[in-house]
Amino acid sequence: MEGNDKEWAALASRAIRGLLVRKGVSVPRLASEFARHGASESARALEGRMHRGTFRFGFFLQVVATIHADYPPHWRQAMTSAGNWDARASHLFQAELAARPWLNWVEIGRRLASISENWDPDALSAAVSAGDFAATLFLQCSVVCSFQGIELFVDQSDLCEAARKGAASLVEIPRPKSDRA
């Protein structure tokens, strides 16, 4: 991973592992529950993905639903909508944007770039429309677009700190002037 990606992945990892701890669900039990719902994945594979923080937002929503974790009330429509988990992730992201009509893909891309996350607006739109985006993107957008409710899963102060580190990486530190006379 490059730049600040590790920071965001660590937050995604903490969010999902924190859910399991709060609900008293082990990774093997999660794997068993997934299998019961037709999604077979080994406990080892789940543990690796969750530890790395490299999972899609649809997977995060699937875990939330599978372990019956609380989620923000305004997520209900997306969480109970038809379709697979990627479709639900897309629905949720687009609902967040619909609540903020001043945002468009160009503006979201600009805001993400301010924390050192570079997205082409067309690629961003396509990824969200397909539900093919990482949980880290949703975390990043919750900071730069003021999505509400993510603090149920990760502290707002930690999200802001990751964003601050990303923004700081964009600032060139001035070198001291030489003592040439």
Give the list of residues 6+ apart from residue 7 with CB closer than 8 angstroms, or none.
162, 165, 166
Q: Is 74 within 8 Å of 148 (Cβ atoms)? A: yes
Give per-residue pLDDT as tens, 3-26: 588 999 999 999 999 999 999 999
Task: Report which of 138, 95, 171 is spatially closest to residue 9, judged by C-alpha positions.
Answer: 138
Give per-residue pLDDT as tens, 18-68: 999 999 999 999 999 998 888 788 899 999 999 999 999 999 999 999 999
139 strand-pairing partners: none
pTM of the model: 0.89
Compute CA distances 97 → 31, 49, 126, 129, whole Å: 32, 28, 14, 12
